[in-house]
Structure formats: structure tokens, C-alpha cells
């Protein structure tokens, strides 16, 4: 497999039986995607679009019904090597509380390396470094349940960083946070991509988070509907709205003005850009 | 507010006692408890008191905390005292209506009550000076030889750690659910026992569902972090005996050995 | 006035090392029929304030008068207060517990001691108000539904008590954009149809801007601002100082005006901005 490609998703489908009428439903339908090393990919979709299912197939928490997922060339179906996959493709989940295992922050961050059988001295170093990156070093010996949502998520991120993954998958990491917490987490995500060269896959339904990505994959009913840069994606205001998604208010304003006969650039995403073009 | 209560009431510190290996502290506590059951005279109690005082002083524990630990069990202590006072046969000292107080009864009740007090205080000393995680680690290490005969020592320790971690979170959840149901007119206070038990359904059902959901999420998160049981796991803080641990262990074994021996000697 | 608060203060854990003043001398009055937005950073006291309104928390000092009944009056029955002021907590779907949706929504009305017929009427009406099909859903288990649907059931459970004041704490938390729009539309409909006073606690300035007619801003336990949305969002520098933002569209109009263009900047929605910008552009063309 091409060295540049970190994750290869090949014609992947996921079936489950609906527990209302037991019919077979498809959460993900014949999806193919390649994620480049060091890329920041956002996966956008409304609740139920299949984005979480997709996320869990990337690190092998669930296996596709059809098709294959390769992480660094390893197939997630390979039972022997699933732990290699999970240590290189880490995952941060939505609920800040339900990821924290230990009663002290540094013990929780150490959980991953401990599972990998890393020697204690090395664990110590990784824990300290990881907490440094997420800016939570001063909370090293604190009890996690006293932290804010944003702080808990950063501890969870540190816990993944300590396993030294190449790629980190974020499954709606800010859905349960207040604005301050959301900003903390997003800043950390960007830092991990720009400064630490981690490949990032950010699952979200917030367009203002997707705006920061290199590419956006838009999912609807388990299918890939659009794949492109933020500028490409957000100009399709009608399509996004029809899928239950949002666009930044300024983008929508331009769209409305263009409906009145004007012809402004339709890839405006920020306040500054809009002020400039008018 | 509820989340500020630490279970077992660990009182953080950097004293010699705090720094001892938890296995040593568990062993010493076991010896302490054993000696309490062997001691049959009053005078060895003086040494027990000295021991407790020495630990409190060295660990810089506020006496308030120790007394707080006794308060909830005050009732049991008093019952023990009363039963022994009135039920022991022997040389009658005086009578209070239908109840008789004997000389042996007086001695016995004081002796038993003191034993209870020391028992409770001794265990408090352990939990005050040892963090829940250190305790769990200590228990896991002590139990690990029994893995050979099938005891899931690691799994038990992991269960304890996770339970400790989630107690404050679940208490918070209970509070939220109670308030939400009270806002809908639920009444958790009035009524007889049967009514009150029934009224707990709107609290317990959501709480259980919540707990199961958390457990499911947590299991997934642990798997994503490569958890696969205890084999091959290392620890950030490996427990290992230092010189002081050996010194204390030997010293305390001798100390409590002698106290136990007082039962048989003079 | 349906709600009157006089010099309300609340201290957590008084006399301990964990003592914290959550509410500091708050006074305000709410008239029947208002649609209030309550904003403030996390920890500013919003939740604490809101839990005083239905007597879940008792003030450390000060007075609260709900529909003429003072909460400090011993004769005031809390059950009545809780009927008058309905409180929907964050993630209300976490309080669902009954076997069927009907029974769960009926929980509140039953606790009020209403007759079977009255309870039935209340459940039907409440489900209709939140957009749930009565016949299809009444016997289903609430746990079979999606997150957004469950939330509607939980809200219906409070609405069924026919409160005079409905307080919603972050009703859109955790929902995707469509889910959010749907719930807010339902709240709007509720407000218009039922003539109810609504207090909406939210972090989303955009949501607040398009729905409410009055905003309370909390900061560090105090009531920092009280005014109409246009007034409040006009004070963007002060809001920023308190760690709060303003709707993106308002921010844009301010910036645009600040860079020398002749437009009104007290805009709250995209529609209003569109009108202003069109006016500006057509004016520019004619000039």
C-alpha cells in the first residue's frame, strides 16, 4: 500500500438488524475512502448518518459486513494484529466521563501504555509529555470527576497520545461540551495536526469545526455524498440544509444575497472574508 | 457537593506512613486487628493506644477525621456495651429495674466497647493514609499468587478501581435524576416503607440504565486503548519495597507478636 | 408579575473549605408571557438560579415569589410551585423510566392527583404540542426512540403538567443542527399556542437571538445585564469581557459598519442582515 495513505477504506458496508422490526438495515453503504498521512479529515453528517459506525470501523472496534479497512496496511479483520491497529489509530469518544478509568489523572493517561506493556520509566515519560501537549500538567494528580468537560476530554486525548498513535479519530468530541470546552478541544485537535503531524479524523455535526479541516467527507444515510475542501463543501448550502446540516451564518447570507441576483464568491466561511468581499 | 466526599476518606499527605508500600500497611492493619482479638487483658490496650497515637502524629492526621469515622458506628458500640453490661453473669453490683449489672459485665462491656473503637479506628488509619488506588494495587499484588488457583486478582482490582472512579459520578447522576423527577412532582420523602420503595422506581430505573450505558461506553473506550486483561500489563507506579518498608514490617510484626503473646503470658 | 426575585443569594457548603457563593444578590421580575433567554458562562449561576424557581433549592437569603406565593412562606406547597414552574433539565431523556411513553408522560399529571380522564387529555395534548403521534407511540417503550424523540417525550412529560412558566435548560444540547431546529421550532410553537412564559437557558447566541424577547446575562453569580436582544447584543465588548459571544451575523454587521459602511448593526438574524445589506448594495449602485 502507498506509504502516503494511512487509512484505506475499501467498499465498506455495515449491516445491522433494526430492533423495531428486525429488518436488515445498512448503517454504512459501500463506502470507499483514502486518508493521507498527516491529513485533517472531517466527517460531517446528521445523527444517524453512519458517521459513528464508520469511525468504529477504522480502529476495528466493529468489523465491516462487507469490504475491508486497512490501517497502515493492516486489515482490521486480522485478529492477531488488531492491537497494533488500535495503538496506532487511537480514538477519543463523545462522553468525557465514560472514557476515564482511573481515579487520578496521570493514572488514567498511563492506562493505554500499561496495556501495551511499556516499561514503567517509559510510561512516566509518555504520561508527562502527553499531559504537557494537552496543557493539563498541573492536574496530574487530580481526581478526574472534579474537572470540567473540556478538561476531561483533554485528559482523554492525553491518554491516547501516550500510546503514540499515528492517527487519532475523534468521535464527536465536543458534542457534550460548553463553548469554552469546545474551544479547548478544537485547539488541541488543531495543535496535534499542525505541530505533532498526527493524522486526524474528526467526526462532527458542527460545521464550524469542519471548517478547519483539509478535507470534508459528508455522509448521508450511510453514503458518501460529498468529499472535498471546506470551500467546496460549504458553498452547497441547499444540499447541506436538505441533509439536516448547517452552514456558517455568513455563508448563508452570501447565498441569500446571490439568490437576489448578486454574484459574490460563494465559498465565504468567516466574518472577515465577508467584510472583505462586500 | 456530594462529589467532594472521597470514599474511605483518604487524607493526602507526604508523611512516612503515607509513603509506605500499601501491602505493608494492609499487613500491619491485619496484625493490628488480629492482636485486638487475642488481647485478653486491659494493660496491652495502653500499647494499642500508643500505636494509634503514634500513627496519627506521624501521618499528621486531624483527630477530627478519626472521630468522624466513629460517629456512624456509635450506635453499634453502644449496643455492644449495653448487651455485655446487662447480659454477663457474675457478681452482682447493682440492679436497674429488670436489668442486672455485674462486676464481670462492667469489665466485659468496657473491654468489648474499646475493642470495637480500636477496630474502627485502626481501619480508618489504613484508609486515611492510603489512597484508594494504592489500596487496590496493594490488594491486587497480595492476591496475585492466588491467580494460580484461579482467583481473578487483576479483574477484581480493576473492578474496584472503576467502581471507586464512578461512585462520585453516579452520585451526581442520582442527584440530577432526583431533581428532575421532583420537578415532575415525585415525592421521595413521605409515605410508609412500601410507598417509598415504590417511589424509588423513577430514580432507580434511569440510574441503572445510565450506569449500564456508562459501562458499555467505558468497555469500548478501554478496548480502544488496547485493554485485554491483566496479562502483560505493566504499571506506571510499580509497587516495590524500600528499606523503610522492611523495617516497619519487621518492627510491627514483633510489636504485635508480643501483644498477641500477652494473652498467654503475664 | 409571575416571578419576582428579591435580593436572592445562595451559598454552597457554607462554613466548610468548599464554601462558594453561587448567587449574589439577584433581583429581577418576570411578567407573564415573556420569552426570556438566560445566558452566562458555565459556573455563572444559571443552573442554580433556575433550580430556585421551582423550590428545588432554597435561598440562603432573599425572597422568591411565584405567582403571588412566596417560597419562604411555610404555607406555600412546593407541589403547587412545581406545577406552576415546569423545569426541563439538560438531557431530559435521562429521566425516562416508564414502560410506555404514555405512562412516562402521565407521571407528572398523576403526581398532581388528576383524574384518569384529565391525565389522558393532558398526555394527548402534550404529545401533540411536541410533535409526537399519540396513537402510534403511546404504547411503545420510550427507550426504542431516537435521542431527539426521547427528548420530546421528556419535554412532553413536563408540559403535561400545564405549567405557567416553562424553564428549559439547554434543550438543544447534544443534538445535530436539524434536531436543534426542530426542538426550537416546537418551543416557539408552544410559546405561541399555549400563551406560556418561557425561560430558555442556552449557550447558543444564535438560538437566543432568534427566539427571545428579553435576555438576562449572568456573570459570576450576579445579574450583569437585563434587556432586549438588540440592546444586549449591541454590547459585544462587555459580553466578550465576560467570556460570551454574540451571533455570528451580528458580529459581521458590527465589523462591516466599523469599517466605514453605512448600515444598521443591531441585526439579530440572517433575514435582517440580508435586508440591511441589500439596502446598502442598492444604495451603492444608485450613488
Nearest residue of C to residue A248, measured between CA atoms: C248
Distance, CA of A143 to CA of A104 (rounded, Å):
5
Pairing assessment for the beta strands A5-17 and A24-36 based on DSSP bridges: antiparallel
pLDDT value, residue C287: 56
pLDDT value, residue C52: 95
pLDDT value, residue A110: 96
Residue written as cell 485478653?
B40
- Alpha helices, H only, chain B: 16-19, 22-38, 44-59, 63-70, 74-87, 103-129, 132-143, 153-182, 193-199, 201-224, 243-261
CB contact under 8 A, B183 and C82: yes
Predicted confidence (pLDDT) at residue B182 exceeds the cutoff of 70: yes
CA angle C105, C109, C110 (to 5 degrees): 100
CB contact under 8 A, C278 and A257: yes
**Interval B237-243 mean pLDDT:** 88
Report yes or no: A88 at the B interface, CB cutoff 8 Å: no
CB atoms near residue B262 (< 10 Å):
16
Predicted confidence (pLDDT) at residue B8 exceeds the cutoff of 80: no
**Interval C25-44 mean pLDDT:** 94
Question: Which residues face C9 on adjacent strands?
Answer: C61
The b-or-e profile of A51-72 (16+ CB within 10 A means b, else e) is bbbbbbbbbbbbbbeebebbbb
Distance, CA of C105 to CA of C114 (rounded, Å):
13
Q: How much is the mean pLDDT over chain B?
A: 87
- Which of B164, B213, B228 is nearest residue A103 as measured by Cβ atoms? B164
pLDDT value, residue B264: 87
Report yes or no: B30 at the A interface, CB cutoff 8 Å: no
> Is the alpha carbon torsion for A224, A225, A227, A231 positive or negative?
negative
pTM beyond 0.90, yes or no: no
The string of DSSP codes covering A167-188 is EEEEESTTTT--HHHHHHHHHH
How many angstroms away from the CA of B188 is the closest CA of chain C?
A: 12
Q: How much is the mean pLDDT over chain C?
A: 91
Report yes or no: A87 at the B interface, CB cutoff 8 Å: yes
**Preferred mutation among B178, B180, B182, B199 to probe C, highest tally of C CBs within 10 A:** B180
From residue A23, give the alpha-carbon distance in Å to each of A19, A31, B122, C142: 8, 21, 61, 20
- In chain A, residues with a C-beta closer than 8 Å to the C-beta of B232 are 117
Distance, CA of A160 to CA of A115 (rounded, Å):
12
The string of DSSP codes covering chain C is --EEEEEEEEEESTTSTT-EEEEEEEEEEE-TT-EEEEE--TTSSHHHHHHHTTTSS--SEEEEEETTEETTSTT--HHHHHHHEEEE-SSGGGG---SSHHHHHHHHHHHTT--HHHHHHHHHHHHHHTT--HHHHTTS-GGGS-HHHHHHHHHHHHHTT--SEEEEESTTTT--HHHHHHHHHHHHHHHHHHT-EEEEE-S-HHHHHHH-SEEEEEETTEEEEEE-HHHHHH-HHHHHHTT----HHHHHHHHHHHTT--------SHHHHHHHHHHHHHHHHH-
CB contact under 8 A, A260 and C278: yes
Predicted confidence (pLDDT) at residue C237 exceeds the cutoff of 50: yes
pLDDT bucket at B4, cuts 50 / 70 / 90 = very low
Selected residues 217-246 of chain A with any CB under 8 Å from a CB in chain C:
244-246
- Which of A87, A143, A156 is nearest residue B226 as measured by Cβ atoms? A87
Angle formed by the axes of helices B22-38 and B132-143, nearest 10°: 80
pLDDT value, residue A185: 97
Specify the length of chain B in residues: 266
Chains linked to C by 3 or more Cβ pairs within 8 Å: A, B
- Which of C148, C252, C277 is nearest residue A257 as measured by Cβ atoms? C277
pLDDT bucket at B6, cuts 50 / 70 / 90 = very low
Report the largest interatomic distance among the alpha carbons of chain A, rounded to a whole angstrom: 67
CB B29 within 8 A of CB B251: no
- Which of B184, B205, B210 is nearest residue C111 as measured by Cβ atoms? B184
pLDDT value, residue B82: 87
How many angstroms away from the CA of C209 is the closest CA of chain A?
A: 13
Distance, CA of A273 to CA of C128 (rounded, Å):
44
pLDDT value, residue C139: 93
What ipTM did this prediction achieve? 0.91
- Which of B176, B184, B205 is nearest residue C108 as measured by Cβ atoms? B184
**Interval C207-216 mean pLDDT:** 93
The b-or-e profile of A119-134 (16+ CB within 10 A means b, else e) is ebeebbebbeebbebb
Predicted confidence (pLDDT) at residue B3 exceeds the cutoff of 70: no
Nearest residue of C to residue A21, measured between CA atoms: C144
Across chain A, which has 278 residues, the per-10-residue mean pLDDT values are 85 85 86 95 91 94 95 94 94 96 93 95 97 96 91 97 97 93 95 96 90 93 93 86 86 88 79 81
C1 Cα distance to chain centroid: 18
Pairing assessment for the beta strands A74-75 and A40-44 based on DSSP bridges: unpaired
pLDDT bucket at B1, cuts 50 / 70 / 90 = very low
Distance, CA of C134 to CA of C114 (rounded, Å):
20
Closest of A49, A13, A47 to residue A29, by C-alpha? A13
**Interval C77-103 mean pLDDT:** 94
Report yes or no: B160 at the A interface, CB cutoff 8 Å: no
Residue written as cell 407511540?
C137
- In chain A, residues with a C-beta closer than 8 Å to the C-beta of B169 are 97, 145
Distance, CA of A117 to CA of C24 (rounded, Å):
52
From residue B149, give the alpha-carbon distance in Å to each of B140, B146, B228, B233, C270: 15, 5, 20, 20, 71
pLDDT value, residue B225: 96
pLDDT bucket at C284, cuts 50 / 70 / 90 = confident
Report yes or no: B231 at the A interface, CB cutoff 8 Å: no
Question: Which residues face A75 on adjacent strands?
Answer: A70
pLDDT value, residue A136: 97
pLDDT value, residue B2: 39
A38 φ/ψ sector (left φ>0, alpha ψ -120 to 50, else beta): left
Distance, CA of C122 to CA of C106 (rounded, Å):
8
- Which of A47, A272, A274 is nearest residue C147 as measured by Cβ atoms? A47
Chains linked to A by 3 or more Cβ pairs within 8 Å: B, C
**Interval B179-183 mean pLDDT:** 94
C-alpha cell at B123: 481501619
CB atoms near residue C113 (< 10 Å):
10
Amino acid at each position: 500500500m502507498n506509504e502516503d495513505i494511512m487509512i484505506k477504506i475499501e467498499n465498506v458496508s455495515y449491516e445491522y438488524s433494526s430492533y423495531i422490526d428486525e429488518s436488515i438495515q445498512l448503517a454504512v453503504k459501500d463506502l470507499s475512502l483514502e486518508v493521507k498521512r498527516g491529513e485533517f479529515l472531517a466527517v460531517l453528517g446528521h445523527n444517524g448518518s453512519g458517521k459513528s459506525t464508520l469511525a468504529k470501523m477504522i480502529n476495528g472496534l466493529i468489523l465491516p459486513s462487507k469490504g475491508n479497512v486497512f490501517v497502515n496496511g493492516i486489515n482490521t479483520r486480522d485478529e492477531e494484529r488488531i492491537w497494533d491497529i488500535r495503538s496506532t489509530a487511537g480514538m477519543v469518544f463523545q462522553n468525557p466521563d465514560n472514557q476515564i478509568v482511573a481515579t487520578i489523572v496521570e493514572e488514567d493517561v498511563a492506562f493505554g501504555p500499561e496495556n501495551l506493556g511499556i516499561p514503567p520509566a517509559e510510561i512516566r515519560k509518555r504520561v508527562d509529555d502527553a499531559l504537557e501537549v494537552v496543557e493539563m500538567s498541573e492536574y496530574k494528580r487530580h481526581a478526574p470527576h472534579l474537572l470540567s468537560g473540556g478538561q476531561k476530554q483533554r485528559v482523554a486525548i492525553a491518554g491516547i497520545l501516550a500510546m503514540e498513535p499515528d492517527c487519532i479519530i475523534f468521535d464527536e468530541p465536543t458534542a457534550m461540551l460548553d463553548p469554552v470546552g469546545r474551544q479547548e478541544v478544537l485547539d488541541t485537535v488543531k495543535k496535534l495536526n499542525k505541530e505533532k503531524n498526527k493524522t486526524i479524523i474528526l467526526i462532527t455535526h458542527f460545521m464550524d469545526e469542519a471548517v478547519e479541516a483539509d478535507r470534508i467527507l459528508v455522509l448521508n444515510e450511510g453514503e458518501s455524498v460529498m468529499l472535498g475542501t471546506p470551500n467546496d463543501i460549504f458553498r452547497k448550502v441547499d444540499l447541506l440544509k436538505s441533509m439536516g446540516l448547517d452552514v456558517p451564518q455568513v455563508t448563508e447570507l452570501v447565498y441569500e444575497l446571490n439568490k437576489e441576483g448578486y454574484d459574490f464568491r460563494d465559498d465565504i466561511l468567516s466574518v472577515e472574508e465577508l467584510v472583505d468581499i462586500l | 457537593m456530594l462529589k467532594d466526599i472521597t470514599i474511605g476518606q483518604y487524607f493526602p499527605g507526604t508523611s512516612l506512613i503515607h509513603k509506605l508500600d500499601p501491602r505493608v500497611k494492609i499487613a500491619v492493619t491485619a496484625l493490628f486487628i488480629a492482636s485486638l482479638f487475642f488481647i485478653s487483658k486491659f494493660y496491652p490496650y495502653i500499647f494499642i493506644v500508643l500505636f494509634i497515637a503514634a500513627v496519627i502524629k506521624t501521618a499528621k492526621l486531624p483527630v477530627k477525621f478519626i472521630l468522624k469515622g466513629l460517629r456512624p458506628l456509635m450506635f453499634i458500640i453502644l449496643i455492644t456495651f449495653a448487651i455485655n453490661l446487662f447480659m454477663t453473669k457474675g457478681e452482682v453490683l447493682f440492679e436497674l429495674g429488670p436489668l442486672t449489672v455485674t462486676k464481670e459485665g462492667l469489665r466485659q462491656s468496657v473491654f468489648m466497647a474499646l475493642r470495637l473503637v480500636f477496630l474502627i479506628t485502626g481501619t480508618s488509619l489504613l484508609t486515611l493514609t492510603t489512597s484508594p488506588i494504592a489500596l487496590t494495587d496493594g490488594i491486587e499484588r497480595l492476591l496475585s499468587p492466588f491467580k494460580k488457583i484461579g482467583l481473578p486478582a487483576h479483574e477484581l482490582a480493576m473492578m474496584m478501581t472503576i467502581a471507586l472512579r464512578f461512585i462520585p459520578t453516579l452520585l451526581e447522576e442520582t442527584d440530577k435524576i432526583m431533581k428532575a423527577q421532583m420537578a415532575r412532582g415525585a415525592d421521595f420523602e413521605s409515605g410508609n416503607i412500601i410507598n417509598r420503595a415504590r417511589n424509588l422506581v423513577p430514580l432507580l430505573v434511569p440510574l441503572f440504565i445510565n450506569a449500564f450505558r456508562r459501562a458499555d461506553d467505558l468497555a469500548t473506550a478501554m478496548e480502544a486503548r488496547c485493554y485485554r486483561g491483566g496479562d502483560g500489563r505493566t504499571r506506571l507506579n510499580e509497587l516495590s519495597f524500600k528499606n523503610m518498608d522492611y523495617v516497619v514490617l519487621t518492627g510491627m510484626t514483633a510489636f504485635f507478636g508480643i501483644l498477641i503473646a500477652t494473652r498467654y503470658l503475664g | 408579575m409571575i416571578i419576582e426575585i428579591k435580593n436572592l443569594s445562595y451559598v454552597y457548603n457554607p462554613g466548610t473549605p468548599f464554601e462558594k457563593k453561587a448567587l449574589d444578590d439577584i433581583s429581577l421580575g418576570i411578567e407573564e408571557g415573556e420569552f426570556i433567554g438566560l445566558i452566562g458562562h458555565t459556573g455563572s449561576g444559571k443552573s442554580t438560579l433556575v433550580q430556585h424557581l421551582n423550590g428545588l433549592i432554597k435561598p440562603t437569603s432573599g425572597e422568591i415569589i411565584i405567582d403571588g406565593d412566596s417560597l419562604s412562606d411555610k404555607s406555600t406547597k412546593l407541589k403547587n410551585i412545581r406545577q406552576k414552574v415546569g423545569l426541563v433539565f439538560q438531557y431530559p431523556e435521562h429521566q425516562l423510566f416508564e414502560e410506555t411513553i404514555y405512562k412516562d408522560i402521565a407521571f407528572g399529571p398523576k403526581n398532581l392527583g388528576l383524574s384518569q380522564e384529565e391525565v389522558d387529555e393532558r398526555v394527548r395534548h402534550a404529545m401533540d404540542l411536541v410533535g409526537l403521534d399519540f396513537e402510534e407511540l403511546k404504547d411503545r417503550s420510550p427507550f426504542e426512540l431516537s435521542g431527539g424523540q426521547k427528548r420530546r417525550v421528556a419535554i412532553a412529560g413536563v408540559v403535561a403538567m400545564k405549567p405557567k412558566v416553562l424553564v428549559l435548560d439547554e434543550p438543544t444540547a447534544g443534538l445535530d443542527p436539524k434536531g436543534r431546529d426542530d426542538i426550537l421550532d416546537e418551543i416557539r410553537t408552544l410559546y405561541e399556542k399555549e400563551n406560556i412564559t418561557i425561560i430558555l437557558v442556552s449557550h447558543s447566541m444564535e438560538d437566543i437571538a432568534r427566539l427571545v424577547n428579553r435576555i438576562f446575562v449572568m456573570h459570576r453569580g450576579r445579574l450583569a445585564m437585563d434587556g432586549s436582544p438588540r440592546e444586549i447584543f449591541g454590547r459585544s465588548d462587555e459580553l466578550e469581557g465576560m467570556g460570551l459571544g454574540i451571533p455570528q451575523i451580528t458580529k459581521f454587521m458590527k465589523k462591516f459598519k466599523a469599517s466605514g459602511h453605512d448600515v444598521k448593526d443591531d441585526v439579530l438574524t440572517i433575514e435582517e442582515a440580508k435586508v440591511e445589506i441589500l439596502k446598502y448594495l442598492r444604495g451603492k449602485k444608485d450613488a
